[in-house]
């Protein structure tokens, strides 16, 4: 099955990436280093030609050979020196990375990994496109590399392997360059088809990297795995435990931490990271998590301030909605068992129940019970620390429920079989999605 998907993807049109490449040519010099042909052998562009938006339609309408990254060069392309110095600026100027700097006995080993990382001409061009046209991907990748290298150093990986960690981190999201940018906006709700496009980006990156021996299989495999989870709840393959490489485990934790740094550090500081780690113990490597726990004890104290717009009434409403998700699932599961011809659970019911039970168990271990969520806010209106803790728990729980719903939709074709129990689950998914979207 994976082979057939890879075959289909290898023949895809790279419309969105070509849009970025040709738009880049309008701003800086982009020149062909060799002629570009279509799959039928017809020459489309001569060697030495300038590429710009006027070339877009010609390039988009054909399947190109060689791969377009192998045919182009951009003025002022990215370099390892630039990556190292940009990483240094982040460590020195970004408050959220002060902890990383303080936790290491000097940062030169970390920074030198950027200088030593492998980087060939096609991937230099691709990172240049990211820097110029998709800076959010470029900045995210550098920041993730800092976290991944911190984890690798704390894990006592040999110095020569740090360059591999840096390369895998910088290249982990190159697949997103081939996705419609609109789908990656935080305010864009994704339907099932759009989710599949987003979820396939690790595979896209793998396909790109496997073409180059210095990046395959170690780096390409880890990039493929950077959204997997130890409990099998990740994507794109649902790998578990030791099925995931050590480098993949580093990338998946660094990715999760970097995303939290970007989205919630200003409001919650280290407190949100602490809650995320507590509620994802079964999904992430415990030894690597231990390094981050020690990181939380360095630098400034965690910021437990509750955002001013978050009142106890707002939290109470969100907790009610969260509790309703669990309650409505119990009803849906029972209804599926009472629906002929299913005397036993269908695969989709088993899947959803396993995920929700795991989240419920995590909540219990964190000190919260799904049957008494609404009672958590009683008498704490004036206790800012307690309210802040509940806000973070609620936010992380809602995020995990949302991930479960997205995973069901992504795998719906796999689960869909005859029988009304599938309809019952689909109705629960729609209801849960509506609950999470309520203000």
- The H-assigned helical ranges of 270-419 are 270-278, 286-296, 312-337, 347-366, 384-410, 412-415
- Helix, strand, or coil (residue 240): strand
Structure-token match 């990986």, residue found: 157
Element (H, E) at 75: none
Q: Using alpha carbons, list the distances in angstroms from residue 156 to 61, 247, 256.
A: 49, 13, 21
b/e map 197-221, b = 16+ CB within 10 Å? bbbbbbbbbbbbbbeeeebeebbbb
- Counting every residue, how long is the chain? 439
Query: SS3 breakdown of the chain: % helix, strand, coil, rounded to 5?
Result: 65, 5, 30
- Listed by start position, the domains of the chain span 2-74, 80-296, 312-437
Report the pLDDT value the prediction gives residue 172, as an integer from 0 to 100: 98
97/269 Cα distance (integer angstroms): 11
User: What are residue 64's phi and psi, to 5 degrees?
Assistant: -95, 150
Residues 6+ apart with CB under 8 A from 248: 221, 222, 224, 225, 226, 228
Exposed/middle/buried for 135, CB within 10 Å: 0-12, 13-18, 19+? exposed
Report the pLDDT value the prediction gives residue 417, as an integer from 0 to 100: 59
Instruction: List the chain pLDDT tens, one digit each, 439 residues.
Output: 444 444 444 444 489 999 999 999 999 999 999 999 999 999 999 999 999 999 999 999 998 999 999 999 999 999 999 999 999 999 999 988 988 998 998 999 999 999 999 999 999 999 999 999 999 999 999 999 999 999 999 999 999 999 999 999 999 999 999 999 998 887 777 777 788 888 899 999 999 999 999 999 999 999 999 999 999 988 999 999 999 999 999 999 999 999 888 876 666 667 778 888 888 888 999 999 999 988 876 544 444 444 444 566 777 788 888 889 989 999 888 888 776 655 567 888 888 998 898 888 887 766 666 666 655 555 555 556 666 777 888 888 898 999 999 888 888 877 765 455 778 888 999 999 998 886 5
User: What are residue 65's phi and psi, to 5 degrees?
Assistant: -145, 135
CB atoms within 10 A of CB 180: 14
Q: If phi over 0 gives left and psi between -120 and 50 gives alpha, with beta otherwise, what is residue 309?
A: alpha
pTM for this entry: 0.82
Residues 6+ apart with CB under 8 A from 260: 272, 273, 276
Q: Is the dihedral of CA 102, 104, 109, 113 positive or negative?
A: negative
User: What are residue 33's phi and psi, to 5 degrees?
Assistant: -95, -10
What is the three-state SS of 393-416? HHHHHHHHHHHHHHHHHHCHHHHC
Residues 6+ apart with CB under 8 A from 117: 80, 83, 163, 164, 166, 167, 170
Structure-token match 């399947």, residue found: 63
- CATH for 80-296? 1.10.3210.10
């Amino acid at each position: 099955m994976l082979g057939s998907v890879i075959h289909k993807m290898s023949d895809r049109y790279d419309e969105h990436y070509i849009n970025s490449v040709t738009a880049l040519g309008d701003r800086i010099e982009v020149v062909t280093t060799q002629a570009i042909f279509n799959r039928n052998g017809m020459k489309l562009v001569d060697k030495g030609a300038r590429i710009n938006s006027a070339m877009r339609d010609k390039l988009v309408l054909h399947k190109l050979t060689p791969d377009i990254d192998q045919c182009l060069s951009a003025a002022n392309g990215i370099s390892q020196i630039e990556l190292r110095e940009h990483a240094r600026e982040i460590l020195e100027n970004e408050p959220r990375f002060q902890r990383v700097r303080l936790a290491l006995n000097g940062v030169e080993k970390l920074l030198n990994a950027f200088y030593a990382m492998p980087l060939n001409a096609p991937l230099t061009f691709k990172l240049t496109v990211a820097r110029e046209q998709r800076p959010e991907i470029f900045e995210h990748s550098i920041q993730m590399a800092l976290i991944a290298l911190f984890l690798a150093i704390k894990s006592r990986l040999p110095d020569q392997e740090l360059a591999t960690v840096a390369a895998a981190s910088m290249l982990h999201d190159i697949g997103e360059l081939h996705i419609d940018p609109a789908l990656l906006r935080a305010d864009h709700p994704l339907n099932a088809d759009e989710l599949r496009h987003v979820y396939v980006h690790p595979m896209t990156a793998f396909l790109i990297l496997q073409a180059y021996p210095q990046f395959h299989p170690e780096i390409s495999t880890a990039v493929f795995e950077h959204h997997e989870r130890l409990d099998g709840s990740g994507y794109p393959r649902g790998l578990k435990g030791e099925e995931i490489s050590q480098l993949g485990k580093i990338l998946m934790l660094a990715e999760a931490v970097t995303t939290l740094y970007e989205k919630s550090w200003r409001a919650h500081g280290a407190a949100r990271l602490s809650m995320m780690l507590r509620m994802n113990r079964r999904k992430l490597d415990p030894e690597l998590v231990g390094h981050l726990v020690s990181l939380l004890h360095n630098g400034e104290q965690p910021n437990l301030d509750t955002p001013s717009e978050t009142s106890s009434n707002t939290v109470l409403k969100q907790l009610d909605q969260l509790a309703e998700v669990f309650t409505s699932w119990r009803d849906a599961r029972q209804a599926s068992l009472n629906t002929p011809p299913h005397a036993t659970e269908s695969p989709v019911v088993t899947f959803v129940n396993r995920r929700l039970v795991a989240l419920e168990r995590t909540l219990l271990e964190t000190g919260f019970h799904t049957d008494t969520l609404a009672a958590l806010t009683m008498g704490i209106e004036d206790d800012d620390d307690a309210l802040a803790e509940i806000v973070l728990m609620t936010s992380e729980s809602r995020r995990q429920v949302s991930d479960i719903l997205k995973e069901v939709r992504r795998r719906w074709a796999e689960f869909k079989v005859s029988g009304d129990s599938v309809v019952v689950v689909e109705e629960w998914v729609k209801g849960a999605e509506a609950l999470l979207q309520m203000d």
